[in-house]
Amino acid sequence: MDRTPSFLQQHKQTFQRVGAVLLAILVWQVLAMAVGHQLLVPSPLSVLERLAGIWLEAGFWSTVWFTFRKIVAGFLLGLALGLGLGSLAGRFPLFEILFRPWAVMVKSVPVASFIVICLIWMSSARLSIFISFLMVLPIVYTNVLQSIRSVDRQMLEAVQIFRLPWAKRVLYLWLPQMKPYLISACSVGLGISWKAGIAAEIIGIPSGSIGQMFYDAKVYFNTTDLFTWTIIVVVVSVLFEKGFLALLKWLYGRLEKL
């Protein structure tokens, strides 16, 4: 009997995912038809039409690039500092105690409060960098600290006995130990950095940013643009997240082949 799975069976998961997206669009379409007003709920077709044209408009790519580089810069800063501070706190318990109130504060204070406070301190153009950084920092810090705390004590003894120098300890023990924590932190941190960064831009309204486009769309009741820019942000953030995580995994793959 031929037990070769059919094309449908082979790609069952893909079909299910595509089906879920199509169903969501259908629900959206039904909702738009039920409301019957583009100002309140634009139809998927009108948003699609806008999407097809918006990327050809002057200034589109510079707007996306403006926001992209700010949020990515904030994310990378948060990642770097979170790695450094998390390592320091994992190595020296005193640092963990010193950092604790800051970590608790950053995690619990609403992002809108930070945005408004920071607007007093810095220009709106830099706001999304700082807010993204601030949101990513505690996530990476907590994960790095957790990874250090959960290291296998037996492996610590082994590197102690074999007197591995500092660089080799990082390479052979700490980086592999951090791998799942770092991937998880980056996955969560990337999503949050985009959400918080865009929120900062909407409140700060730096000129030439995606946030400004959202603000303008709100002011002019252009709901179709609002939906269009939302989709653009989702697509850019998801693409960057996938790309960054793939890069991280590739780097780990290279490391393990050393």
In the complex, the smallest distance separating the C-beta of residue 29 from another protein, rounded to whole angstroms, is: 48
Radius of gyration of the chain (CA): 23
b/e for 165-195, b at 16 or more Cβ within 10 A?
A: eeeebeebbbbebbbebbeebbebbbebbbb
Site membership for another protein, residue 166 (CB under 8 A): no
Question: At closest approach, how far in Å is the CB of 109 from another protein?
Answer: 38
d(C-alpha 119, C-alpha 125), whole Å:
10
From candidates 104, 158, 234, 246, binder to another protein by CB under 8 A: 158
- 27, 52, 142 from 30: Cα distances, Å: 5, 22, 43
Minimum CB distance to another protein smaller for 126 or for 179:
179
**DSSP 8-state symbol, 93:** H
Q: Which is nearer to another protein, 147 or 224 (CB)?
A: 147
Measured from the CB atom, the residue of 3 and 163 that comes closer to another protein is 163
Per CB under 8 A, 157 contacts another protein: yes
- Whole-number Å distance between alpha carbons of 134 and 34: 41
Q: Does 170 bind another protein (CB under 8 A)?
A: no
The footprint of another protein on residues 176-205 (CB under 8 A) is 176, 179
Q: How far apart are CA 131 and CA 139, in angstroms?
A: 13
Q: Which of 4, 9, 16, 154 binds another protein (CB under 8 A)?
A: 154
Closer CB to another protein, 80 or 164, in the complex: 164
Binding site for another protein (CB under 8 A): 154-155, 157-158, 160-164, 168, 171-173, 176, 179, 256-258
